[in-house]
């Protein structure tokens, strides 16, 4: 072995150490920031009270349409417990990759991700007791078609729950008003089954197929 080989190994070791330290620093900065953001969302959306209001219980099999990176997915997973199941749907594969990574990192075994289509969530099972849509439906490209297809994944008496910003309270009309949501679900074959009003800036509506 040449004398030059030893410094080469040392250099690589130093670079590896520097890279590892850099990753640690990034994680130390990013993780508290995400935790703070989630804490603020929790204060506004009151997820535990929301799940109480819509009847999420241990052992339930539920879906989430437009789950994104899993903000609400993991709250559902904790609530339904090991005897329950959460099917997290989205058309964004990268977002679902993140959900799967969190499941691996935190040993969460009751979440299954589902890549859907614009007009169909493609849940792999029928008989879902509840399907949640949290800050999602306002961005659906063809919501009426999606909602019509969604019905076949619900068990008899199953519900679809919308938790979304109330534009009448926030002034942000990127979101759908209560009246528009009720009309959209009605034209897609649903009746309004619940309208919880304890959130200051958000809508919590429960729909059931007609």
Q: Which residues contact 147 (CB under 8 A, 6 or more apart)?
A: 160, 184, 185, 188, 189, 190
Alpha-carbon torsion (89, 92, 93, 98), positive or negative: negative
Question: What is the CATH code of the structural domain delimited by 46-209?
Answer: 3.40.50.150
CA dist., res. 15 & res. 21, Å (int): 10
Domain ranges of the chain: 1-43, 46-209
Q: Are strands 154-165 and 190-196 parallel, antiparallel or unpaired?
A: unpaired
pLDDT tens digits, 102-128: 999 999 999 999 999 999 999 999 999
pLDDT tens digits, 36-77: 778 999 999 999 999 999 999 999 999 999 999 999 999 999
Adjacency order of strands within the sheet including 154-165:
111-115, 85-90, 61-65, 128-134, 154-165, 202-209, 190-196
Q: How confident is the model at residue 35 (pLDDT cuts 50, 70, 90)?
A: confident
pLDDT tens digits, 149-178: 999 999 999 999 999 999 999 999 999 999
- Residues of the chain above pLDDT 70, percent: 84
Q: What spatial distance separates the first Cα and last Cα of the chain, rounded to whole Å?
A: 79
Question: What average pLDDT does the segment 18-38 reach?
Answer: 54
């Amino acid at each position: 072995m040449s004398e030059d080989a030893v410094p080469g190994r040392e250099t690589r070791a130093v670079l590896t150490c520097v890279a590892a330290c850099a990753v640690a620093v990034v994680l130390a900065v990013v993780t508290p920031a995400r935790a703070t953001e989630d804490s603020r969302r929790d204060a506004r959306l009151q997820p535990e009270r929301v799940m109480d209001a819509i009847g999420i219980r241990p052992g339930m099999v539920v879906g989430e349409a437009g789950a994104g990176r899993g903000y609400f997915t993991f709250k559902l997973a904790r609530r339904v417990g090991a005897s329950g199941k959460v099917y997290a749907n989205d058309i964004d594969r990268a977002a679902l990759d993140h959900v799967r990574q969190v499941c691996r990192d935190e040993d969460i075994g009751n979440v299954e991700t589902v890549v859907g289509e614009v007009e169909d969530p493609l849940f792999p099972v029928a008989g879902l007791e509840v399907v949640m849509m949290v800050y999602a439906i306002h961005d659906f490209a063809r919501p009426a078609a999606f909602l019509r297809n969604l019905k076949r994944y619900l068990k008899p008496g199953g519900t679809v729950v919308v938790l979304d910003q109330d534009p009448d309270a926030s002034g942000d009309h990127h979101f759908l008003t209560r009246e528009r949501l009720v009309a959209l679900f009605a034209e897609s074959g649903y009746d309004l089954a619940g309208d919880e009003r304890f959130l200051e800036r958000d809508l919590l509506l429960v729909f059931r197929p007609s």
